[in-house]
Structure 1
């Protein structure tokens, strides 16, 4: 339990920020899973576009570092580019 009034305020602020950050990180992970679990390349590309937007917003808000967002983007783009087409999947 905080002893000072300012420490009580900091505790309340940090709890609100923690909840907000958890929400955004959970949302980010959910959309990344949507890209990885896509059944068609078109579906994966649409989900990738949404993930790019979300990652950029999280960088601006300071929730994740810009290099981490860049790393996610790179890995997911590589995944989508190597997505098997229907002819390759049937072979």
Structure 2
């Protein structure tokens, strides 16, 4: 099975040095879709109410073949404390 590398950018860049074996490109793409919400669940925005989470998939040769991004945006609807 081919090995794909899932680099993560969530305000900090984390390069995947180990990779994951996936049956094919579509399986790797599905994995990216699964991992993004999991990342967002654990990486809380620290600079306000906006955070972008990106996965860049590289093939065995290190060539980027897919990218997916999930954006969190929060907006306070009133300005009173309470």
Question: What TM-score do you get using the length of structure 1 for normalisation?
Answer: 0.32
Name whichever structure is richer in helix by fraction: 1
Larger RCO, structures 1/2 (Cα 8 Å, 6+ apart): 2
The structure that has the greater radius of gyration is 1
Name whichever structure is richer in strand by fraction: 2
